Amino acid sequence: MEGEEEYRRVLRLLEEHHKFMSRSIPLIASENVVSEAVREAVASDLMSRYAEGWPGERVYAGCKYIDQIELIAIELGKKLLGAEHVDVRPIAGVTANLAAYTAFTEPGDTVISLAIPNGGHITYGKKELGGTAGAVRGLVVENFPFNAEEMNIDADGTRKLVEKLKKEGRKPRVVIFGGSLFLFPHPVKELSDYLKSEGISIMYDGAHVLGLIAGGQFQRPLEEGADVLTGSTHKTLPGPQGGVIASFEKYSERLKAAVFPSNVSNHHLHHVAGKAIAFAEMIAFGKEYAAAVTRNAKALAEGLASRGFKVLGEKNGYTKSHQVVFEAWQYGGGGVVEKLLEEQNIIVNRNLIPGDIKAGRHFKNPGGIRVGVQEVTRLGMGKDEMDEIAEFIYRAVVKGEQVKDKVEELRSRFDTVKYAFESTRKAYEFIKIIQPQS
């Protein structure tokens, strides 16, 4: 029948992908591996349903179980993030940021955020760059002054920038902390009294570090003065793809309306169930997991630095998050190194780093490689394995050696999901719903 060939092919490719994952060292800083229970939720009938709106105030009938699940997710989210208000409906981190912009800004307002080479995300980008803040919400984006040696926002410089913008009659409406290249906690505490005294709202985009925040291993933005915390639920927080917003009761009505109807109609109910399960896992195992993640990141950074790699953030001990960033321009550039490592089944991503734009490098072959250790930590790896990984990267990148067999051997020793209530299968096992026909 027409279509059947492609149908079979897609099913085969899915299986191939799972095999590839089970032989690789996954080091993409924005990814993770979910538990069997999260996979169960995401594969459930909830993927076919409509709810729209808030639990108890739905637009659609048939939500009696869905409502209970969403309320559990909300309650657990509040506990994990220290929030009075949590919304699990944003279908992505981008959607969560758009909802925060909708609630706290008007088009034409000025905001301050990190430039992309300094760690900013496309959602805070200027209009010229097609960034969500500029091109979608119509915000005028100014960039934080950044100290590349500290690998952090310059707090004094930020105060000066706000004063300058005030003189120009365009006082920022919101200051957006957070980023995609994110090694050290941002100076929220240092700036929050000043920003509040100026009537400037504080947003914190915790997409990357949400699992570390929840596990008590990173700054707690809402306790340091942020008005709203947004994030993704699938990076260091090991849940299904999605977004979340956390804030205070006083902002709850406008934030709720900014999500529905402004930025989602139906939300992804199977992912809400997955979020509830991932949050429960974080309540139970999050402290231990987040501590292991930050320990491993530091160990990997030290392993790379001791082998001669130029690891960013040296002055402050390389990292306090799940990320390690090293210079790759010496080895042909981030794009080249990313490809070379992928051939050895080590999956990392290229990244713009401070100084790249000045040096004429761009995102296709930028100056850096960013790695994250959250996923290998969830597979149970520890400090010794971080040193092994540093050695593999060194041998592949600097010596040009083949390490694929050794990579697969290491991976085969770490093949179940840890920090979960139940783990009965291999981490990347392809679970077939379709029974073989015979």
Ligand X SMILES: *Cc1c(COP(=O)(O)O)cnc(C)c1O
If binding is defined by CB under 6 A, does position 374 make contact with ligand X? no
Within residues 393-432, the interface with ligand X by CB under 6 A covers: none
Q: What element of type H or E holds 277?
A: helix 269-306
Q: In the bound complex, what is the minimum distance in angstroms from residue 57's beta carbon to ligand X?
A: 26
Range list of β-strands (E), 114-259? 140-143, 146-147, 152-153, 174-178, 201-205, 228-232, 243-247
CA 133 to CA 139: how far, in whole Å? 5
Q: Which residue type, as a one-letter code, is found at position 408?
A: E
Candidate list 27, 41, 80, 92; residue touching ligand X; CB under 6 A: 92
Q: Per-residue string for binding with ligand X, 22-51, x by CB under 6 A?
A: --------x---------------------
Q: Which stretch binds ligand X (CB under 6 A): 31-39, 40-48, 92-100, 188-196?
A: 92-100
Q: List alpha helices for 61-154, DSSP H.
A: 64-81, 93-104
Q: In the bound complex, what is the minimum distance in angstroms from residue 233's beta carbon to ligand X?
A: 8
CA 209 to CA 233: how far, in whole Å? 10
Residue (180 or 319) nearer to ligand X, CB: 180
Structure-derived torsion over alpha carbons of residues 125, 126, 129, 135, reported in degrees to the nearest 10:
90
If binding is defined by CB under 6 A, does position 365 make contact with ligand X? no
Within residues 104-163, the interface with ligand X by CB under 6 A covers: 121, 123
Which residue's structure tokens are 């026909």? 437
Residue (230 or 344) nearer to ligand X, CB: 230
Residue (208 or 220) nearer to ligand X, CB: 208
Q: In the bound complex, what is the minimum distance in angstroms from residue 181's beta carbon to ligand X?
A: 9
Q: In the bound complex, what is the minimum distance in angstroms from residue 158's beta carbon to ligand X?
A: 18
Candidate list 207, 245, 277, 301; residue touching ligand X; CB under 6 A: 207
Q: Do residues 268 and 99 lie in contact, with contact meaning Cβ atoms separated by under 8 Å? A: no
Q: Which residue type, as a one-letter code, is found at position 195?
A: L
Candidate list 53, 93, 335, 367; residue touching ligand X; CB under 6 A: 93
Q: In the bound complex, what is the minimum distance in angstroms from residue 180's beta carbon to ligand X?
A: 4
Q: In the bound complex, what is the minimum distance in angstroms from residue 412's beta carbon to ligand X?
A: 30
- How many residues touch ligand X under the rule CB under 6 A: the total is 15
Output b/e per residue, 392-418; b: 16+ Cβ within 10 A: bbbbbbeeeeebbebbeebbeebebbb
Q: In the bound complex, what is the minimum distance in angstroms from residue 126's beta carbon to ligand X?
A: 15
Q: In the bound complex, what is the minimum distance in angstroms from residue 122's beta carbon to ligand X?
A: 8
Q: Which residue type, as a one-letter code, is found at position 277?
A: I
Residue (230 or 365) nearer to ligand X, CB: 230
CA 15 to CA 8: how far, in whole Å? 11
CA 144 to CA 142: how far, in whole Å? 7
If binding is defined by CB under 6 A, does position 205 make contact with ligand X? yes
**Radius of gyration from C-alpha coordinates of the chain:** 22
Residue (30 or 192) nearer to ligand X, CB: 30
Within residues 229-258, the interface with ligand X by CB under 6 A covers: 232, 243
Tokens of 248: 């205070």
In the complex, the residues that contact ligand X under the rule CB under 6 A are 30, 92-94, 97, 121, 123, 178-180, 205, 207-208, 232, 243
